[in-house]
Amino acid sequence: MLQFLIGTNFQLMRFRRWAYLFSGSLILATIVWLVMHGGPRLSVDFSGGSLVQIATNQALPSGRLREALDRAGMRGAEIQQLSEAGGNEYLIRLKGSSEGDVFKGVKDAVVAAFPGVQIDEQRSRVETVGPRVGKELASKAFWAILGSLAGILIYVGIRYEFKYAFGAVVALFHDVFITLGVLCFLNREVSLTVVAALLTIAGYSINDTIVVFDRIRERSKALRKEKHSRVMDIAVNETLSRTVITAFTVFLTALALLIWGGEVLSDFSLAMVVGVAFGTYSSVYVASGLALDTWIWLDRRKGIQAE
């Protein structure tokens, strides 16, 4: 029988304060980043504007491409060459006005500035979102995230006692927020698909937590005499292999999507990879750690010695 992480006896709970420090710094860093940049970088889905991907038959130096767009009145374009497959593919982001046909505008500007260049429309795409539609999508996304967090919260609240629910909920916010933070640090944009990834993470990352908590509940009945932290350690160690393996299989598929899934899915896949990784870590440290501290705090308030 091939196995790993069986019969381990890590004293995980002893280091939980370090984990709080680590998670706390990441969260703080995310908050600082968000405050400094006035929120996450929003894709055209939410900010309004246009995203134009063009495939050309020859390379366009990005400086001259920018000049060409400037001359055509499309100022402040962000240009990104897609490195995939070595083709001449460019991603152009334009903020603001979506009046008129943006794709045609870009096409005309390119053709005028680079004689002989042809744009393959079959291999191009355009996303234009008006400011009002963008705002509507943003508010929908906001409520969807809030709603699903609340839904899970209520479910966990019904299913577990307060001491567990608190840790689970903090872990949930932790995972979603840090994933958002990592995307921000990597200068990725928050788009509709990224929101989909965040919601999936919210639903998925709690799975590991549920596995650990069910075990803690089971063990805390059997091991009444033990210290709380010992019960926790036993429960976490006993479920460690499955916590890691279940996350690992999902991690593998998310990683495959990130590497081979193409440009369109890359932000989504990155969010999933990061979210699954943090979800695993947080079910051990944030969720269980906080559950332990809540448990100790509750007992002490009742005047029971606990640690």
Partner 1 sequence: MTRADQWKLLSVVVATALSIWYLWPSYRYYTMPPAERQKMPPSEMAALRKKAIHLGLDLQGGMHVLLEVDKSKLSAAEAKDAVDRARDVIENRVDQFGVAEPLIQSEGEDRIVVQLPGLTDRERARELIGRTALLEFKLVRTPEEVRNIFTRLDSYLAARGAGASANLDTTLQRTPLSGHFLDVGSAAFIRNDDRPVVERLLATPGLDSIIPSDSQLLWTAQDQNYQGVTGRYLYVVKRTPEMTGGSIATAEARVGLDQTNPGAWGVGMTMTPKGRADFGRVTGNNVNRQLAIVLDSKISSAPVIRERIPSGDASITGSFGIEESKDLAIVLRAGALPAPVKTVEERTVGPSLGSDSIRKGLTAGLIGSVMVIAFMVIYYQLSGVIAVAAMLLNTVYVIAALAGFGATLTLPGIAGLVLTVGMAVDTNVLIFERIREELRHQKSVRQSVSLGYDRAFRTILDAHLTTIISGLFLFQFGTGPIKGFAVTLIIGLVANMFTAVLFTRMIFDWMLGRGKVERLSI
Contact set for partner 1, span 146-175 (CB under 8 A): 147-148, 151-152, 155-156, 159
Binding mask 174-213 for partner 1 (x = CB under 8 A): ------------------xx-xx--xx-xxx-xx--xx--
Q: Work out whether 124 is an interface residue with partner 1 (CB under 8 A).
A: yes
d(CA 188, CA 270): 9
> CB of 89 within 8 A of CB of 125?
no
Closest CA to 93 of 123, 125, 115: 125
Binding mask 208-237 for partner 1 (x = CB under 8 A): --xx--x-----------------------
Q: Work out whether 306 is an interface residue with partner 1 (CB under 8 A).
A: no
| Closest distance to partner 1 from the beta carbon of 149 (Å) | 8
Residues 12-51 that bind partner 1 (CB under 8 A): none
CB closer to partner 1, 29 vs 144: 144
**Residue in the block written with tokens 């033990």:** 226
| Closest distance to partner 1 from the beta carbon of 121 (Å) | 6
| 35 contacts: CB under 8 Å, gap ≥ 6 | none
| Options 251, 281, 285, 295; binder of partner 1; rule CB under 8 A | 251
| Options 126, 232, 236, 292; binder of partner 1; rule CB under 8 A | 126
| 282 contacts: CB under 8 Å, gap ≥ 6 | 23, 171, 174, 175, 205, 209
**Residue in the block written with tokens 């966990």:** 156
| Closest distance to partner 1 from the beta carbon of 258 (Å) | 8
| Closest distance to partner 1 from the beta carbon of 284 (Å) | 16
CB closer to partner 1, 91 vs 306: 91
| Closest distance to partner 1 from the beta carbon of 252 (Å) | 5
Number of residues that bind partner 1 (CB under 8 A): 75
| Options 12, 69, 109, 137; binder of partner 1; rule CB under 8 A | 137
Residues 257-276 that bind partner 1 (CB under 8 A): 257, 259-262, 264-265, 268-269, 272
| Closest distance to partner 1 from the beta carbon of 293 (Å) | 23
Q: Work out whether 288 is an interface residue with partner 1 (CB under 8 A).
A: no
Residues 44-73 that bind partner 1 (CB under 8 A): 53, 55
Q: What is the DSSP annotation of the chain? A: ----S-S----GGGGHHHHHHHHHHHHHHHHHHHHHHTSPPBPHHHH-EEEEEEEBSS---HHHHHHHHHHTT-TT-EEEEE-GGG--EEEEEE-S---S-HHHHHHHHHHHHSTT--B-GGG-EEEEE-HHHHHHHHHHHHHHHHHHHHHHHHHHHHHS-HHHHHHHHHHHHHHHHHHHHHHHHTT--B-HHHHHHHHHHHHHHHHHHHHHHHHHHHHHHHTTTS-HHHHHHHHHHHHHHHHHHHHHHHHHHHHHHHHHS-GGGHHHHHHHHHHHHHHHHHIIIIIIHHHHHHHHHHHHHTT----
CB closer to partner 1, 267 vs 296: 267
Residues 90-109 that bind partner 1 (CB under 8 A): 98, 101, 103-104
66-74, 180-188, 243-251, 291-299 -> range binding partner 1 (CB under 8 A): 243-251
